[in-house]
Amino acid sequence: MKKKSKIILFLVCAVFSASIILVNIYAANYVYYGSPAAHVKPVQEKLKRWGYYDGSVDGKFGAATEKAVKYFQRKNGLTQDGKAGKSTLEKMGLYNLLSSSGSTSAGSSSSSTNSNDVNLIARAVNGEARGEPYEGQVAVAAVILNRVKSSSFPNSVSGVVYQNGAFDAVADGQVNLSPNASCVKAAKDAMNGWDPSGGAIYYYNPKTATNKWIRTRPIIRTIGNHVFCK
């Protein structure tokens, strides 16, 4: 009986431990009412930084946070359920951070590359859009990243930025200037998944653009002085 009791106790403990692990994974990949504060705060911080949320970053997923999540989802073409599931967290750049199953093995090897990419994007944004609204600066940074993902452009940040004739900031040397804090922040926000451009791979200033072809591209939205298009 004692041996059987020990086996039963072991099985109960194993099941309990497994359930805790599953709950933690689910909670990290799905942030909503009742989620741990450690998972809610990053969501609130992102939403507040990007202007979707004006409440306190207190780790409590209440009505205001749900409303902000729905607003973010609506603006980014996601299902508006008010719950930060995988698609929403990925769009926020938080999925790998919060997911307990996320791998960290490549973190140290990629950190320097990410740092270099952020710096180059920030310098490009500084040269192209430093006088634009902050959302417009992030959108320019996002266009660079959208080009990296597109098969029609080079598959690296440096390749995209330095592609012949792609950016005026490279042609006139402004890409070599030190970026201001706003442009650095914009580059980081774009790297973390925010794309105010709506997936654009082109943008231009209609007041100064002389290229007739660019004006034929389907417009997605306008932010500040820039038109963002496909």
Domain ranges of the chain: 2-98, 111-229
CATH number for region 111-229: 1.10.10.2520
In terms of CATH architecture, what is 2-98?
Orthogonal Bundle (1.10)
- For 129-158, the pLDDT digits (tens) are 999 999 999 999 999 999 999 989 998 899
Q: Is 206 helix (H, G, I), strand (E, B) or coil?
A: coil
Let me know: does 146 contact 121? Beta carbons within 8 Å.
no
- For 192-217, the pLDDT digits (tens) are 889 999 999 999 999 998 889 999 99
Q: How far apart are CA 69 and CA 59, in angstroms?
A: 14
pLDDT at 65: 94
Mean pLDDT of the chain: 82
* The pair of three-digit structure tokens given for residue 21, joined into one six-digit string: 């692990």
pLDDT at 12: 44
Interacting residues of 74 by C-beta distance below 8 A, sequence separation 6+: 80
Whole-model pTM: value is 0.57
pLDDT at 113: 57
